[in-house]
Amino acid sequence: MRRNVLIFIAVLLFAACSPSGEEGQAPEAGGVPFYRIRVEPLPDLNKPRGGGALLLIDGELTRFGGHTDGYIPLATAEYLKDGAWHEVPANYSHDFGFITRLPDGRVMLGGGAGEHFGIGQSWGVEIYDKESHTFQSVGILDRKRSGASACAMEDGRVVVSGNWYAPDAVGIWAEDTGFSHLRDVGEPRSRPYILQSGPGEVVIFGGVDNYGKGTSGIVDRSGGEPYREALLEEWAVTGGNSVRSAEDLKIGEYDYLVPASAKADKAQCAFLRVNRGRFSLLETEYPLPKFGPDSSALTWGNVLQVDRASRAAWLLGCDEKGRLNAAQLLYDPVFEGRKASLKVWFSEPVPVYPDDFVLLGDGRLACAGGVRLRENLVTNFETGRSAFILSTNEELRSPGWLWWLFSLALIIGLALVLLRSRKSPGAEAHETPETPVREDLMSRMVTLMERNQVYTQKGFTKADMARLLGTNVSYVSACINTQAGTTFPDFVASYRIRHAQGLMKSAPGMLISDVAEESGFSSEQSFFRTFKAHTGMTPQEWKKTAGV
């Protein structure tokens, strides 16, 4: 009887939820499907902000630097916690400066305009401590810089290059020596891309030159002579990783994606792949659209974010009506020699154009602050306080009367189930006890972890565990909670930490980035953060304690 009732409820639920079509789906433009994106408000920032960067640090949205109305630099940051933004004073303003994550999870900010209106250059460098929400000055750059980019390498050193209305060169930072000159450049740039091409090596390319003109196809290297890349003579890559760490562009080891526009047709945008310093044009099923579903012209931005867990890259843009567009590139097929797929969302008009965004997972993107649009043109003199989440999870639409029918059926069904659950004496003896099943499931999970080392797979989820064991995610969660006294992420993390410790003992010379990779961590930053949370020490501190 109970089974029949549950089946009846499930059928009604399916009927009520089955859509006649996805809500807000628009006609395809140039073959690319468009879907409506939801805008969910967040609390406003304390100050209007444009420029700078938005990062997600240990679950906290944090907005750094930039400038406010009137193009006045801000020497503060704000982080979102407990439903409000909290302002933190910095030592310097870094409007038009660089921001990059260090391997241990700290954030380095350096240089920027020396005056209002983006004029001049500055020296100051500081590091943001996410635990204390404070800034600590760490000296000065190798030269005054504005419009520079930076790349933090696996060994903790930081390469910086780029300048605005001043000479350019490549500088390098180390914790014990600070910044120093590394080498001259084959071509001066502003906001270039700096990406690792191998252990301790980077390539530097793109952006615009130090006076705002386009760059040629010259690629600089931290080690070795500059060379000319033919693909960069056809495609322009601007914006660089001045406010975005190279890690956020990474799809594999020394393998990155960057957005580009055709020099012959600036409205045509695409993705370039930079794999160990080698450039190629990423093939997609459809080109990035130039127009929206109602023929509104689209302008794609320069900030790209890679979500390696879902094997997708995201790019934000806007159309001439002030609506945001989010392009999702599913790049996994590229590794098998196939074309990547593409999907695009569009929103209602928004008050400001966000000049940065971060990924929250589950198809959600967070934005905070930005600059106002005037006739589809960006103005640095008018900024905004608005913060919001763009949610690409498609909602399904169904007729209202089906929802009423479902609700009524659900109430009746639950009542019947409750009546049925009133067993006669002795009925419990015929029920299958859950505890032995859970204990058996726990032992099977432990066997799977220890023998098969499934935790070394990046992005290993409860659903993966349930699939391998032929059960469901609810049983997996309940079993780990009751038998292991922890959560699934911590359960997996404990195995990864032990695996990493074993690697560091057996191969003391192994790079920390390789240890993190082989232990299943999504990034080096994630490894540092999780390792310290579980052991109370950084990996380097643990190695010293363990005598490695």
Q: Which residues on adjacent β-strands are paired with residue 138?
A: none
Per domain, the residue ranges of the chain are 2-18+399-422, 22-85+297-397, 90-242, 434-545
- Could you read off the pLDDT of 131-152 as tens digits, one per residue? 999 999 999 999 999 999 999 9
The pLDDT tens digits of the residues spanning 201-216 come to 999 999 899 998 989 9
The closest alpha carbon to 214, from 192, 196, 230, 199, belongs to: 192
> Degrees (nearest 5) of the Cα angle 117, 93, 41?
85
* Residue in the structure block whose two tokens are 């609506």: 323
b/e 210-240 (16+ beta carbons within 10 angstroms → b): beeeebebbbbbbeeebeebebbeebbbbbb
283: which DSSP letter?
P
Residues in the chain, total: 548
d(CA 41, CA 288): 28
CATH architecture of 90-242: 6 Propeller (2.120)
* Same fold across 90-242 and 434-545: no
**pLDDT given for residue 83 in this prediction:** 93
Q: What is the pLDDT of residues 154-172, one digit of tens each?
A: 899 999 999 999 999 999 9
- Asked whether the beta carbons of 306 and 255 are under 8 A apart, the reply is no
Q: What is the mean pLDDT of residues 339-364?
A: 89
pLDDT digits over 22-42, tens only?
A: 444 454 555 677 899 999 999
Question: Which pLDDT score is estimated for 279?
Answer: 97
User: Other CB atoms closer than 10 Å to residue 52's CB: what's the count?
Assistant: 29
pLDDT of residue 416: 52
Residue 174 and residue 470: Cα distance in Å, rounded?
50
Question: Residue 190's beta-bridge partner residues?
Answer: 208
Confidence of residue 525 (pLDDT cuts 50, 70, 90): confident
User: Six-digit token pair at 274?
Assistant: 């930079």
Q: Angle at CA 133, nearest 5°, toward 127 and 135?
A: 30
| Dihedral, CA of residue 275, residue 280, residue 285 and residue 290, to nearest 10 | 110
- CATH domain 434-545 topology: Arc Repressor Mutant, subunit A (1.10.10)
Q: Nearest Cα to 239, choosing from 279, 282, 206?
A: 206
Question: Identity (one letter) of the amino acid at 438?
Answer: R
Q: How far apart are CA 158 and CA 101, in angstroms?
A: 10
Residue 22 pLDDT: 42
Considering the chain, what is the average pLDDT of its residues? 84
- Helix, strand, coil percentages for the chain (3-state, nearest 5): 25, 35, 35
DSSP 390-410: EE-PPPB---HHHHHHHHHHH
List, for residues 85-115, the tens digit of each pLDDT value. Answer: 999 999 999 999 999 999 988 999 999 999 9
Helix (H, G, I), strand (E, B) or coil at 319: strand
Q: How far apart are CA 468 and CA 444, in angstroms?
A: 10
The answer for residues whose C-beta is within 8 angstroms of residue 37's C-beta and 6 or more apart is 324, 326, 345, 346, 347, 390, 391, 392
pTM: 0.69
Give the helix/strand (H/E) hosting 13: helix 2-17
For residues 543 and 487, give the distance between their C-alpha atoms in angstroms, rounded to a whole number.
27
Handedness of CA 41, 46, 48, 51 (dihedral sign): negative
Confidence of residue 349 (pLDDT cuts 50, 70, 90): confident
